Structure 1
Amino acid sequence: MENIVFAHSSSYTLGVELEFQILDRQTLNLVSRAPAILAEVPQALGDRVAPEFIRSILEIQTGICMSVDEVAKDLKSSIALLEQIAANHDSLLFSASLHPFAEPADQLFSEGERYQRIMNELQHVGRRFLSQGLHVHVGIEEGDAAIAVCDALQLYLPILLGLSCSSPYFRGEDTGLSSYRTKLFEALPLAGIAGYIGSWQGYIDEINMLRSSFVIQETKDLWWDIRPSPGFGTVEIRICDLPARFVEVLGLTSIMQAFVAAIVEGIVKPLPVSYQLLCANKWQAARYGLEGRFTDPLGLLPTRTQTIRQAAYELLGLLSPFFDRFGGRGLDAVQSLLAGKVSADKQRTLKKRHGSFETMIMKLHNTYWHE
Structure 2
Amino acid sequence: MTPIEFAGSRFFTLGVELEFQLIDRESFNLVPVAPTIIDHVPDALQSRVVQEFLQSIVEIRTGVCDTVDDAKEDLQATILAVQKVAEAHNCLLSSSSLHPFACPEDQVLSFGERYARIMKELQYVGRQFICQGLHVHVGMPDGETAIKVCDTIQAYLPLLLAPSCSSPFFRGEDTGFSSYRTKLFEALPLAGLTGFHQTWKGFEREVQMLRDNHVIADFRDLWWDVRPSPFLGTVEIRIFDLPLRFAHVLGLVALAQGLVAGLTRNMAEHQPISHQVLSRNKWQAARHGLGGIFVDPLGLLGHGSMPMVDALSRLITVVQPMLVSFGSQAYVAAIGELCQTMNGADKQRQLIAEGRNFPEMLQQLHNEYWS
* Alignment correspondent of 1:144: 144
Equivalent pair of 2:165/2:240 in contact (CA under 8 Å): yes
- 1:28 is paired with a residue whose SS is coil
Calculate the TM-score normalised by the size of structure 1: 0.98
Contact conserved, 2:38 with 2:46, CA < 8 A, in 1?
Answer: no
What residue in structure 1 maps to residue 162 of structure 2? 162
Per-residue Cα deviation, 1:317-368 (whole angstroms, up to 9, x for no partner): 1011011101124222112211100000000000110240111111111110
Please give the alpha-carbon distance, in whole angstroms, between the structure 2 residues aligned to 1:336 and 1:303: 24
Q: Give the C-alpha shift of residue 46 in structure 1.
A: 3.0
* Amino acid in the other structure paired with 1:361: L
Distance 1:71 1:120 in 2: 36
Alpha-carbon distance between aligned partners in 2 of 1:335 and 1:265, rounded to the nearest angstrom:
23
Question: Displacement of 1:303 after TM fit?
Answer: 4.6
CA drift at 1:189: 0.2
List aligned pairs for 1:80-119, cutoff 5 A: 80-119=80-119
Counterpart-to-counterpart distance in 1, 2:291 and 2:14? 30
Question: How far apart, in 2, do the equivalents of 1:278 and 1:192 lie?
Answer: 10
Verify the 8 A CA contact 2:55 2:108 in the aligned structure 1: yes
Any unmatched runs of 5+ in structure 2? Answer: none
Query: For the residues of structure 2 that align with 1:171 and 1:2, how far apart are their CA atoms?
Result: 45
Q: Please name the residue that 1:305 is paired with.
A: 305
Q: Is the 8 A contact 1:244 1:343 kept in 2?
A: yes
Question: Does the 8 Å contact 1:13/1:66 carry over to 2?
Answer: yes
Identity of paired residues, percent? 53
Could you tell me which amino acid in structure 1 is paired with residue 180 of structure 2? Y
The aligned counterpart of 1:340 is 341
Distance in structure 1 (CA, Å) of the matches to 2:353 and 2:359:
12
User: Secondary structure in 1 aligned to 2:231?
Assistant: coil
Which residue matches 2:322?
322
> Is 1:365 the equivalent of 2:362?
no
1:353 equivalent in structure 2 = 354
Q: Distance in 1 between matches of 2:11 and 2:269?
A: 18
CA offset at residue 273 of structure 1?
A: 1.5
Counting only pairs closer than 5 Å after superposition, residues 169-184 of structure 1 correspond to structure 2 as: 169-184=169-184
Asked if 2 retains the 8 angstrom alpha-carbon contact of 1:148 and 1:269, the reply is no
- 330-339 or 340-349, larger mean C-alpha shift: 330-339
Once residues 157 and 257 of structure 1 are traced to their aligned partners in structure 2, the CA distance between those partners, rounded to angstroms, is 13
Residue 258 of structure 2: aligned partner: 258
CA distance in 2, matches of 1:299, 1:268: 8
1:305 CA displacement: 1.2
Q: What does 1:289-300 align with in structure 2 at a 5 Å threshold? A: 289-300=289-300
Q: CA deviation at 1:42?
A: 1.9
The answer to whether the 8 A contact 1:147-1:197 is kept is yes
Q: Distance in 2 between matches of 1:330 and 1:51?
A: 29
Aligned mates of 1:71, 1:304 — CA distance in 2 = 36
Gaps of 5+ in 1: none
Aligned-residue RMSD, C-alpha? 0.8
- Residue pairs, 1:148-227, within 5 angstroms: 148-227=148-227
The answer to whether the 8 A contact 1:168-1:179 is kept is yes
1:45 shift after superposition: 1.6
The 8 Å contact of residues 354 and 360 in structure 1, kept in 2 or not, is answered as no
Task: Indicate the residue corresponding to 1:35 in structure 2.
Answer: 35
Q: Tell me the secondary structure at the aligned position of residue 21 of structure 1.
A: strand
> Secondary structure at 2:157's aligned position in 1?
helix
198-207 or 302-311, which deviates more:
302-311
Instruction: Report the Cα distance in structure 1 between the residues aligned to 2:7 and 2:82, rounded to whole angstroms.
Output: 31
Given that 1:83 and 1:92 are in contact with CA atoms closer than 8 Å, whether structure 2 keeps it comes out as yes
The superposition leaves residues 184-228 of structure 1 with CA deviations (integer Å, 9 ceiling, x where unpaired) of 000000000001110100000000000000000121111000000
Report how far residue 307 of structure 1 moved. 1.2
Greater Cα offset, 233-242 or 214-223: 214-223
In structure 1, what is the Cα distance between the partners aligned to 2:35 and 2:219? Answer: 27
Q: Is the 8 A contact 1:16 1:134 kept in 2?
A: yes
Shift of 1:265: 1.6
- By how many angstroms is 1:112 displaced? 0.3
Deviations 1:292-322 (A, max 9, x none): 1100010111353111111000001101101
